[in-house]
Amino acid sequence: MASADAHDLHRRVGEWYRANARDLRDPYAILVSEFMLQQTQASRAAPAFEAFLRTFPTLQALADAEPGAVIRAWAGMGYNQRAVRLHRLARTVAREHGGELPRSVDELRRLPGVGPYTAAAVACFAFGANVPVADTNIYRVLSRVLYGVDAPSRAVVDRRVAELTPDTDSPSTPQEWHQGLMDLGASVCAAAKPRCMLCPLREVCLAADALQDGARLALAEASIPYAPKQGRYEGSTRYYRGKTACLQARRFPWRRCGSG
Ligand code: SF4
């Protein structure tokens, strides 16, 4: 098993992401999705997310709403404090930033309800900022690739994630790298049955040999050749973000909407 260098990892994940990804860059929709995903599973959040964006299609619409209406639109999500903070955030952005979400992690961190992960995710996914994103799927993929089946502590892997953030010479952008790893974790490198045979990292992954049985089982269960856009897509984070793309396409028909 050949070990991977950063350039090789960036190339593999970047190529895979560009071949499989949909474009989704609406900062407001990404912000709402990240708030909902803070404490709720994607499968449960998806219907509420669609309803929320139908009720408040823009950050300004959310800022103009009454608090009671925002909490009602949050129904089914629980942890209503997130809705209160999101509403407060919208009003702050409308008042202090002309209705445009700030782009930097530092400015995002100063907004109500925005912690380090949400700030990094919005800066990276909405604005392409070069910041590491510490996500569970990213942790699982990179811990398997770099350390095999005996995963070290989360802190050790998170440090490696930070070191591996692409630079300007890398063959993937920070957004492609982080989103690609998240999508790989959601659709290919599953926790229980990773599909190593379909993974762009299998030749450099230290866990691939040990997890091949799971990969074979997953393939045997599939009646058709696996395609990332159709496999275990539903309910994944990518499915959830894909829903966002479709909503955007409905509101702005000139934007493309993929399946899902
Ligand atoms: S080769 Fe298998 S274990 Fe390694 S990252 Fe890919 S899916 Fe995960």
**pLDDT tens-digit profile of 182-232?**
888 877 898 888 888 889 999 999 999 888 755 554 544 443 333 333 344
Ligand 1 binding pocket includes 161 (Cβ within 6 Å): no
Does 258 score more than 50 pLDDT?
Answer: no
Confidence class of residue 97 from pLDDT cuts 50, 70 and 90? very high
Contact call for residues 138 and 181 (beta carbons, < 8 A): yes
Residues 109 and 139 in one domain: no
In a domain, 192, yes or no: yes
Contact call for residues 70 and 56 (beta carbons, < 8 A): yes
pLDDT in tens, 99-116: 999 999 999 999 999 998
Tally of residues, the chain? 260
Residues 213 and 146 in one domain: yes
Contact call for residues 39 and 241 (beta carbons, < 8 A): no
Give whole-number Cα distances, 68 to 38, 62, 83, 112, 222, in Å. Answer: 21, 12, 10, 18, 46
Of all protein residues, whose CA lies closest to atom 8 belonging to ligand 1?
Answer: 189
Ligand 1 binding pocket includes 211 (Cβ within 6 Å): yes
In a domain, 93, yes or no: yes
In percent, how much of the chain has pLDDT > 90? 35
Distant-in-sequence, close-in-space partners of 210: CB < 8 Å, separation ≥ 6: 148, 149
- The pLDDT assigned to 46 comes to 75
- Name the residue of 17, 136, 141 to mutate for ligand 1: max ligand atoms within 8 A of Cβ: 141
Residues 16 and 42 in one domain: no
- The pLDDT assigned to 148 comes to 92
Query: Which pairs from 223-231 meet CB under 8 Å and 24+ separation?
Result: 226/195, 226/198, 228/20, 228/183, 228/187, 228/188, 228/198, 229/20, 229/258, 229/259, 229/260, 230/259, 231/187, 231/188, 231/195
- The pLDDT assigned to 260 comes to 27
Distance (angstroms) between ligand 1 centre and the Cα of 67 equals: 45
Distance (angstroms) between ligand 1 centre and the Cα of 6 equals: 16
Residues 75 and 127 in one domain: yes
Q: Which residue did the predictor score with more confidence, 225 or 83?
A: 83
In a domain, 256, yes or no: no
Q: Among the atoms of ligand 1, which is closest to the Cα of residue 188?
A: 7
Q: Domain range holding 34? A: 27-131+241-251
In a domain, 1, yes or no: no
Residues 126 and 137 in one domain: no
The one-letter amino acid at 56 = F
Ligand 1 binding pocket includes 201 (Cβ within 6 Å): yes
Q: Which residue's structure tokens are 């109500």?
A: 112
Catalytic residue among 15, 34, 66, 234: 34
Look at the chain and report how many structural domains it folds into.
2
Residues 172 and 186 in one domain: yes
Q: Among the atoms of ligand 1, which is closest to the Cα of residue 140?
A: 8
Does 120 score more than 80 pLDDT?
Answer: yes
In a domain, 169, yes or no: yes
Ligand 1 binding pocket includes 140 (Cβ within 6 Å): no
Ligand 1 binding pocket includes 188 (Cβ within 6 Å): yes
228 vs 154: CA distance, rounded Å: 27
- The pLDDT assigned to 73 comes to 93
203 is catalytic: no
- The pLDDT assigned to 23 comes to 54
Q: What is the mean pLDDT of the chain?
A: 79
Q: Which helix (H) or strand (E) holds 220?
A: helix 212-221
Residues 67 and 127 in one domain: yes
Confidence class of residue 16 from pLDDT cuts 50, 70 and 90? confident
